[in-house]
Homo-oligomer: A and B are copies of this chain.
Amino acid sequence: MTATLEFRNGVLYLLDQTLLPLETVVIECREVAQVMEAIASLRVRGAPAIGCAGAYGGVVAAMRRADRGLRGDDLANATLRDFERIRQTRPTAVNLPWALGRMKTVVERHASEESDALIRALRDEADEILREDEEANRAIGRYGADLIANGAQVLTHCNAGALATGAYGTALGVIRAAHEQGRSLRVWVDETRPLLQGARLTAWELEQMGVPYTLITDSMAGHFMARGEVDVALVGADRIAANGDTANKIGTYSVAVLARAHGIPFYVAAPTSTIDLETANGESVPIEERRADEVGAFGSVRVAPAGARVANPAFDVTPARLITGIITERGVLRPPFAAALAGAVNAERVDRGSSDSERRPDAVGVEPG
């Protein structure tokens, strides 16, 4: 599979996800404005992926500012202003401010050094964010695969695959891991209107993995649950609040309500970088409202009457009470989520502050397998 994103020779290469699966086009971002446009228009999307893209966007920012002669504090300040512009491209996924927060710490630490040293440190940090993301996803896959019985029928919404992350995938990473472990499974793929990330991206990834799947419209999920053909629902996340309320692609909430009504477990798979302890609960998550024509038209094909009033929230919030478990790289968190989430995040903080082998899988509320 072509990589979601790659940074080589000072250029951020992004697989243009708006064109998949019909065309495989890699775009080259040499300017911050290009990175911002790519994030805003969903050429790169998925919370962990835009975290990584934002981090590399930060490297590009510093490089271009240095090219234009800025040095020392001037370079640092201009770079931080660019970080802020990148951060504002999309409001809901917390991974973008999270990654840029790490990049900011690097700027502050290296502001007094030569510009080359600053840029190298930023590059190292972005690489580390990407590396950690892939590692986290693989761990999520291992923990999550244990929840998928042989022969399970799994329903997923939107795309939480390799395309949505640095690599491997979160919800789709769980499916991939179960498949790699030889388990037989079948996936119901919600097409995920309006932008059809399920039909375009998840179906494409599953096709490449060789995992059997059936594409359905979002409105069919309840029907197949009622027929007993869904054993587990599995989704990614854009932001998990401190109490476990989870913002994810619009329609996730409906899947969670339907799953509960049918006694089907509903799991969220996300790295701890998606957990935002600063956001108390779902009501505080900013929900991005996107352009009306994403709903009123389909690509270039107009469907609704001209001038139709449209609502287009890109995300919704699933309350913690509807979530069976949150699959992180630290293990599967179970309710009550507040303590478990704080434990998982703090365990991570301890990790990054210490030598890399001091993992804390015994954090509060974490199930280490």
Contacts and interface: CB of A to CB of B under 8 A. Distances in A.
Contacts of A304: 21, 191, 199-200, 203, 215
Given A223-B254, A296-B199, A302 B218 contact: no
A310 B216 contact: yes
B222 A257 contact: yes
Interface stretch (A65-73, A102-110, A123-131, A206-214): A206-214
Contact of A218 (B203, B217, B305): B217
B299 A216 contact: no
Interface residues of A, number: 54
Contact of A303 (B199, B254, B311): B199
A224 B21 CA distance: 31
A155 to B, nearest CB: 12
Contacts of A296: 199, 215
Nearest to A249: B219
A90 to B, nearest CB: 18
A257 B259 CA distance: 10
A298 B298 contact: yes
Contacts of A253: 222-223, 226
A4 B362 CA distance: 66
A54 interface: no
Contact of A212 (B221, B260, B307, B309): B309
A312 B301 CA distance: 22
A199 B292 CA distance: 12
A250 B220 contact: yes
Contacts of A251: 217-220, 222
A7 interface: no
Contacts of A22: 302
B200 A303 contact: yes
B316 A215 contact: no
A193 interface: yes
Interface in A269-307: 295-296, 298-305, 307
Residue of A221, A223, A224 with most chain B CB atoms under a 10 A cut-off: A223
Given A191-B295, A298-B298, A254 B221 contact: yes
A261 interface: yes
Given A215-B295, A217-B193, A223 B313 contact: yes
Interface string A209-244: 000111111111111101000000000000000000
A307 B204 CA distance: 10
8 contacts: A190-B219, A191-B303, A213-B309, A214-B310, A217-B251, A219-B254, A220-B313, A254-B254
Interface of A: 21-22, 190-194, 196, 199-200, 203-204, 207, 212-224, 226, 250-251, 253-254, 257-258, 260-261, 295-296, 298-305, 307-313, 316-317
